[in-house]
Structures are given as structure tokens and as C-alpha cells.
Amino acid sequence: MALSYAIIGTGGIGGYYGGRLAHIGCDVHFLFHSDYEFVKQHGLQVDSVNGNILLPTPQAYHRTQDMPKCDVIFVSMKTVNNHLLKDMLMPILHEHSVVVLVQNGLGMEENLSHEIPHASIVGATAFICTTKVGPGLVHHAEYGTLTIAPYNECDINVLQQVVADFEKAAVSVNLGDDLLSIRWKKLVWNIPYNGLTVVLNAATNELTFNKDSRQIIIDLMTEVVEAGRCCGAKISDTFISKMIGMTEKMTPYSPSMRLDYEAKRPMEIETMYSNPIAIAKAHGYRMSKTEILEKQLRFIAATMY
Amino acid sequence: MALSYAIIGTGGIGGYYGGRLAHIGCDVHFLFHSDYEFVKQHGLQVDSVNGNILLPTPQAYHRTQDMPKCDVIFVSMKTVNNHLLKDMLMPILHEHSVVVLVQNGLGMEENLSHEIPHASIVGATAFICTTKVGPGLVHHAEYGTLTIAPYNECDINVLQQVVADFEKAAVSVNLGDDLLSIRWKKLVWNIPYNGLTVVLNAATNELTFNKDSRQIIIDLMTEVVEAGRCCGAKISDTFISKMIGMTEKMTPYSPSMRLDYEAKRPMEIETMYSNPIAIAKAHGYRMSKTEILEKQLRFIAATMY
């Protein structure tokens, strides 16, 4: 079967993965926000370490009401706009559509399942350094693996077809069955690095190689691992040193929250910090160090304009 | 008896208190660093809410070797230079000299007592908003109470004479007997406000009135109170709300660490953060929130030049 895809939020993430699928001939429908007019005229370009892509005439839309119903819907917009998601999705959902949330943080699947109870929802994390650097222009610098796992009842055949399509597009996909662990493991990196690059105004390498900020990172990672385990996530004892080692080898990088901050866009504090803190608390664990970083970020967000 | 005074470090604190004593005719010898030549030519000026002072020809020195031995020595230089203190003090100490450390943090008296075992040492905290705003020019904006308490064996007659001299100079002085509690109570304010004004680049009022930074402040204050109590300090349950209430009424203010940061001078991280953390740890209490702030400050200090 040939799946139809929608990309809701064509930025660094959506532009890269959707671009790869369209490049091999998949039926991909892209939702654009501010870049719509530009892309209609000039197309969508992905400059990638794995080979450049130019889609001269992508199926581009400015609102979901104009899009067809799709089999697989990748949501790659910022979670700060998730309150709009239900209304955006309704026009493009058919009875068996699968919604894949490629987003940062925790709690997004649960929120959406309350809003659209019949929807098949999948969570995904992208291990990738990719950024929208200009209108219709995505720059993919490093990595690219997508990890996906169902949140509720999903047609496994559809998910396997998604994996097959991505394989054909040279994108590595892990299809897992433990979304909780996937989300918490992503937070082990996201919580220290996203927040500290903003608060300390520094890139990932500076934070990793200075001994004091490195110690904060390790302390925060340890807290996230403990919190995740209290919530039922499976995270190995060596995971923290693996994350630090991986970051040491990374090209210096500004995580998404720092890019948002520098561009004076809203930061994903709610899903990346407040939700994990609240969920851990409900399981009896207080993330007291993460709370400090969360509140520092909220202060910065309140005074950044 | 008429006491002779030395002021070691004539900045905002030393200039104000020494200036008040000299103004009423006390025998005060001021040590200047970069301002020495200016003060020799133009004098020392203190613009104060309690009345301005101009000392046209203060007893000014550039090095302690040129100063007479003094009865009471106020040390009001930054603790980042305390490794120089022993050599600076030796020329001006006589057998009964009393050294008063008007400094921020913890552990300064103990360090000095190891370096000069026979010295009578007194600790002091200044509750005051005063700043050196230019060469030989001190601006005193608010408050002014000095709290002093002996660290080791001291001639109580000398201390009472100091209190009497200050009273004559219209400076309110509390002579206490529990230096440990005085130092920790000062830290309850200093630890959150000094560090956060630097890390979040904000003044005291912004931090106090934003609900997120206010919560960090309360959490840090709570941790300092708990740590202090573990070390034997007596701090009442209402002290935190008293400090917050006091700060709400204060004129917006940049604490000393923020001024140091902005002027690219070394910050007093060691005595204000690392020493309390280490001393609390030795008493079985881990200041885990303060540790984050300490390490953020160390990162900033390492990258500020």
C-alpha cells in the first residue's frame, strides 16, 4: 500500500523527514506557516550531510482545511502551539489516520488523546541536528535517526510501512514499543542542554567541557533518570555517560530552545520542563534541580521581549 | 580611650564607615588601591542619604607598610583577595589589635585565625546599600546598620568603644555574641540575590516580583536556613518572609556580585557559595540547589573575560 503523508509544521524536523519522503516519490503534503508564499514560488530545499534535496513544487498548504485527509500525519510544530492542534488535525483525519508527534517533552500524546479520543497516536523523537535557516531552506548538519512507538492502539501494518518508506529514503527508524522510556531518555539530554544553553548563553560544547557546567549537566541528568524510573521508564545505568560522550563528539550545537530564545520565539518550557516535573511529582519524585532551571527559564521568557 | 582605626579596602563599605568615623574626628587610616593618587589630591567624598561628607585630606596610604599600627582594623576588601590579607595585616597589628572582617560569605575568620593565630578577630555584616561610584567617591543610598560579633577572644572594652564611636557618628551598630548565626542569616539573602542577579541579569526588584524567580529565591532561602541550622545557626521561622518583605520595599539594587560581574571583577563565589556548601556538607547537609547556582556562577566567571 502507498501511504499519504502530512507534515504539520515544516521547519527543520518536518522539512527534513518530509523532504526525504517526497524526494523518493511518496505522497507528502506539507503545511507551511510564514514560508508558504516563498515555497510556492521557489520550492523547498534541504541541504543535508546525506545529500541535498530540492523539491521545486512540493504539495504545499497554508491551512489544513485545504489539505486532503492523510494516512500518516507527522506533527513537527513546536509544542507551544499544541492548543491549536485539535482544530488543525480534524480536517485531515480519516478513520484510520495515524498521528505521529515528533515533538519535545512529555504529555503531548496524553493531551491529544483527551482532545481526539478516537485518534491513533504515535510518539516520536528525532535524534538529529537540523535547522530551518531561511524561508523554505533546511540545513541538516548531523545524525538523523527517528525513534517511534505507539501511544495507543495503532495499525502495526501502517507503522511498518512508514519504517519501510523511510528506509527507502535512507532515514534510519527505530520502531519501539515503550514510548514512556523513549520520551524520558530524550529528556535526559534535553532538560540540561536546552535550558542551560539559554540560561548560560553557551553552546553544547562549552557546557560539556567546562567542569562546573558539566557537573550541573550530570546532576540534572541523574535527576531526570531517577524521575523517569519512578514513572516506569527503563534507563540503563550507563546512559548518562553515553549521552555525555556523544555530546563531546558532537559538532558544537545550539539546541532548539536556544534557537527559539535567540529568535525571540516562545520556548517549550511547558512540555520539556513543567510536564515532566508534574508527572514525576505525581509519582512521588520531586525534581528539585530541574525546578530551578524551569523557573529560571520562565523568568527569562517573561523578560525576553 | 581614643582608638586608632585602619580601613583595609576603601570602597563602598570601607569608605562609608571609615568616612563617618573620620568625619567626627576619629583617628582613621585609609588604605587605597587604585584611587590613592586621586584621593591624595582631591580627598574622599561620601554622598549619603544621612548627610554628605567630604574629607579633603584623609590619612591615605597605598600600602600597609607605610601605615601605623592600629587598635581596630576594618577589613572591607573583597574576599577574592584574602590570600593577601596576612601579609597586608602584619605591619599594622600590635599585640591588642582587633581585626574586624566586614566581608561576605563564610569561613573568612577561620582562615585568618589559622594564618595569624594570635590575632583577635571579629566578624561583621553590613546591612547597607553603598557603592563606590568613582575615584574617591562613595554613594550611600539606603540603610547602614553594622552587626559585629567576636570570632575568638577579644577585648570587650575595645568593642564597646567601637560601638560608642559609631554611635557618635550616627551609625547604628549591633554588638552580638553569635557570629555563626549572623553570618548564616546574611547568607539567606546573599546566596539567592547575589547569584541570581548575575545569572538572570536582573535587579533585585525584578527577581522579587516575578513569581518564578521569587519561588527560586524562596527555595534557595529555605535551603540556606536548613543548612545554617544544621551548622548550629539560630534562624527563626519567619526570617525568610521578613527578608522577602524587606527586599520588596528596597530601592531596586544591584548586589555586590552583580556589580563585580558588570565591572568584570572577580566574583566572591568561594566565600559566598563554595564555603557554605562545604561547611554544610561537613555537617551532613547537601545544599543541592545552591550547588547549581554556584556552578552556574563558576561557568560565567570562566567565560566572562
Give kind and range of the element (H or E) at residue A48. Answer: strand A44-48
B163 C-beta neighbours (distance < 10 Å), count: 17
Interacting residues of A173 by C-beta distance below 8 A, sequence separation 6+: A145, A146, A147, A148, A162, A163, A166, A167
B126 in helix, strand or coil? strand
Rounded Cα–Cα distance for residues B238 and B23 (Å):
38
Burial class (CB in 10 A: 0-12, 13-18, 19+), B20: buried
Which tens digits make up the pLDDT trace of B23-59?
A: 999 999 999 999 999 999 999 999 999 999 999 999 9
Q: How confident is the model at residue B143 (pLDDT cuts 50, 70, 90)?
A: very high
**Contact indicator for A283, A230 with CB cutoff of 8 Å:** yes
Write down the residue that cell numbers 515503550 correspond to: A178
Which tens digits make up the pLDDT trace of A129-160?
A: 999 999 999 999 999 999 999 999 999 999 99
Q: How confident is the model at residue A305 (pLDDT cuts 50, 70, 90)?
A: confident
Burial class (CB in 10 A: 0-12, 13-18, 19+), A251: exposed
Chain A residues touching B269 at Cβ < 8 A? none
Rounded Cα–Cα distance for residues B229 and A279 (Å):
32
Contact B291 A219 (CB under 8 A): yes
**Contact indicator for A47, A113 with CB cutoff of 8 Å:** no
**Contact indicator for A148, A162 with CB cutoff of 8 Å:** yes
| Torsion angle defined by CA atoms of residues B227, B125, B13 and B101, in that order, rounded to the nearest 10 degrees | -90
Of the partner residues A212, A213, A295, the one whose CB lies closest to the CB of residue B215: A295
Q: Is the pTM of the predicted complex or chain greater than 0.90?
A: yes
Instruction: Check A186, A234, A249, A295 and give the catalytic one.
Output: A186
For chain B, domains (ranges, CATH) are 4-177 (3.40.50.720), 181-303 (1.10.1040.10)
What distance, in Å, lies between the first and last C-alpha atoms of chain B?
49
* Mutation choice for A interface testing from B197, B206, B212, B300 by most A CBs within 10 A: B212
Rounded Cα–Cα distance for residues A127 and A139 (Å):
15
* HEC-encoded secondary structure of A226-266: HHHHHCCCCCCCCHHHHHHHHHHHCCCCCCHHHHHHHCCCC
Residues of B carrying an active site annotation: 186
Contact B299 A213 (CB under 8 A): yes
Rounded Cα–Cα distance for residues A168 and B145 (Å):
75
pLDDT of residue B305: 78
Q: Examine the pLDDT at B1 and tell me if it is beyond 80.
A: no
Rounded Cα–Cα distance for residues A259 and A256 (Å):
5
CA distance B216 to chain A (A): 6
Please list the residues that pair with A174 across neighbouring strands: A147
Q: Look up residue A276 and give its amino acid.
A: P
B187 in helix, strand or coil? helix
pLDDT of residue B158: 97
Length of chain A: 305
pLDDT of residue A131: 92
Rounded Cα–Cα distance for residues B148 and B150 (Å):
7
Rounded Cα–Cα distance for residues B207 and B220 (Å):
13
Cell output for B244: 522577602
Rounded Cα–Cα distance for residues B267 and B294 (Å):
11
Rounded Cα–Cα distance for residues B191 and A240 (Å):
30
B171 in helix, strand or coil? coil
Q: Look up residue B11 and give its amino acid.
A: G
pLDDT of residue A250: 87
What distance, in Å, lies between the first and last C-alpha atoms of chain A?
49
- CA nearest A302 in B: which residue? B210
- CA nearest B292 in A: which residue? A216
Which tens digits make up the pLDDT trace of B237-293?
A: 999 999 999 999 988 888 999 999 999 999 999 999 999 999 999 999 999 999 999
pLDDT of residue B155: 94
CA distance B88 to chain A (A): 32
Contact A289 B288 (CB under 8 A): yes
Tell me which DSSP letter residue B132 carries: E
Q: How confident is the model at residue A253 (pLDDT cuts 50, 70, 90)?
A: confident
Q: Examine the pLDDT at A252 and tell me if it is beyond 90.
A: no
